[in-house]
């Protein structure tokens, strides 16, 4: 009996171990597919940089950047030496960029594939040194050129991977601008998840405060496209870093998106905590859009129409949210069976705001309305 039990235990342990091994292999295989193969090939390659120290010229093999120091391998691989990085030290360095003019000509001509073939082995090994001061332009130019060209070639995944490897809050603003360009490309593709991922790595504090506006614009574009769930964490993030004069605007849009994402319980205390702007203030009409949206979501269309109309008469046609407000007003009319009024409002959106996403929504809703009856004289 004991012997059978022992055999049973051994069999079960073998099966469990086999299962664990199989799961591990699958996980490893999945991870391997997500790895940037170019990084494996080039990322850890050493970089030969010439140093001219008061006329004494030597070529150093730099292998890493640690604790603010460039680490170089000694000749023959007998050891390493760490050199503290400073502006004066960087001025003594020279990197061979003799191929860059040829690469730049290819890029200007739109020959991205051959340009990338030359850029990758050149720029990948440099990425690990990205915290070296910007004054060492010979190092930073190939890296930025690589990522910019990847975006132009629509190699977004690889560009995103490289930007993730760079601490954007420790490099020049030019890197942030490249990240914003990639965010814009994702936005054009309607990839809201990737847009949200980009906003997580783009710095917004201190000297990087100029990055706030593009992130706000991206959030507004996602909201206008109806990506309410995706944009909620963006507005939450933005709210913590914007100036006080912008914060109220962002808080309203956050509450608005919560309402339209059917998270009214979360939005309600935020709406009630907001102080209603005065009718002559710019945000009055946005506040009414927020209130009207909540009433509309609760199917109180008469109340929504009243609130939205009061906001609209105080708005200027240049306000970003006016097309949105008009669309909801038209929808309230349609649901109250005033199809003619709905048609008139939605037609105005298509005429006055043809570039707005709400113009497309209005055109779609117009197509669903019955044709107006022809009057016979």
Q: Which two tokens stand for residue 18?
A: 């086999």
Does 14 reside within a domain?
no
Does 20 reside within a domain?
no
Q: Which two tokens stand for residue 214?
A: 């593009």
Average pLDDT over residues 124-139: 94
pLDDT tens digit sequence for 56-68: 888 899 999 998 8
Question: What is the 3-class SS of 323-372, one letter each residue?
Answer: HHHHHHHHHHHHHCCCHHHHHHHHHHHHHHCCCCHHHHHHHHHHHHCCCC
* Range with top average pLDDT, 94-98, 270-274, 373-377: 94-98
User: Of the candidates 120, 153, 186, which is a domain's last residue?
Assistant: 153
How does DSSP classify residue 281? S
- Pair (50, 144) in one structural domain: yes
Confidence grade of residue 189 (pLDDT, cut at 50, 70, 90): very high
User: Of the candidates 247, 274, 301, which is a domain's last residue?
Assistant: 274
DSSP lists the bridge partners of residue 60 as 49
Domain with 360, as residue range(s), is 280-370
DSSP line for 172-216:
-HHHHHHHHHHHHHHHHTT-HHHHHHHHHHS--SGGGGGGHHHHH
Does 17 reside within a domain?
no
Q: β-strands 80-84, 93-94: how paired?
A: unpaired
**Statement: residue 251 has pLDDT above 80:** yes
Q: Give the CA count within 13 Å in the CB-facing half-sphere of 306.
A: 5
Q: Which two tokens stand for residue 201?
A: 């790595």
Does 12 reside within a domain?
no
Does 197 reside within a domain?
yes
pLDDT tens digit sequence for 303-346: 999 999 999 999 999 998 899 999 999 999 999 999 999 999 99
Number of independent structural domains in the chain: 3
């Amino acid at each position: 009996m004991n012997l059978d039990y022992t055999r049973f235990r051994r069999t079960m342990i073998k099966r469990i171990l086999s299962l664990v091994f199989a799961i591990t292999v699958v996980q490893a295989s999945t991870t391997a597919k997500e790895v940037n193969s170019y990084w494996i090939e080039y990322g850890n390659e050493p970089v030969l940089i010439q140093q001219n120290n008061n006329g004494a010229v030597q070529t150093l093999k730099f292998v890493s950047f640690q604790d603010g120091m460039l680490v170089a391998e000694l000749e023959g691989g007998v050891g390493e030496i760490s050199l503290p990085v400073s502006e004066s030290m960087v001025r003594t360095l020279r990197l061979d960029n003799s191929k860059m003019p040829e690469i730049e000509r290819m890029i200007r001509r739109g020959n991205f594939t051959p340009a990338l073939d030359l850029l990758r082995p050149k720029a990948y090994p440099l990425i690990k040194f990205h915290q070296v001061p910007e004054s060492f332009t010979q190092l930073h130019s190939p890296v930025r050129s690589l990522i910019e060209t990847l975006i132009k070639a629509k190699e977004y995944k690889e560009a995103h991977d490289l930007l993730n490897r760079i601490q954007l809050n420790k490099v020049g603003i030019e890197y942030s601008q490249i990240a914003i360009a990639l965010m814009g490309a994702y936005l054009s593709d309607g990839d809201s998840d990737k847009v949200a991922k980009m906003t997580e790595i783009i710095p917004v504090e201190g000297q990087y405060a100029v990055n706030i506006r593009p992130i706000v614009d991206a959030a507004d574009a996602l909201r206008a496209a109806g990506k309410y769930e995706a944009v909620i964490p963006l507005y939450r993030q933005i709210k913590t870093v914007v100036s006080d004069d912008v914060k109220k605007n962002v808080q309203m849009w956050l509450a608005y998106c919560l309402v339209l994402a059917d998270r009214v319980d979360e939005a309600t205390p935020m709406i009630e905590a907001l102080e209603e702007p005065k009718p002559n203030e710019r945000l009055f009409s946005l506040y009414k859009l927020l209130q009207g949206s909540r009433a509309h979501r609760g199917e109180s269309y008469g109340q929504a129409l009243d609130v939205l109309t009061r906001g609209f008469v105080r708005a200027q046609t240049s306000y970003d949210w006016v097309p949105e407000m008009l669309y909801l007003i038209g929808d309230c009319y349609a649901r109250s069976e005033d199809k003619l009024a709905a048609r008139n409002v939605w037609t105005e959106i298509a005429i006055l705001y043809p570039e707005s996403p709400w113009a497309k929504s209005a055109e779609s809703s117009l197509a669903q309305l019955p044709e107006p009856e022809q009057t016979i004289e």
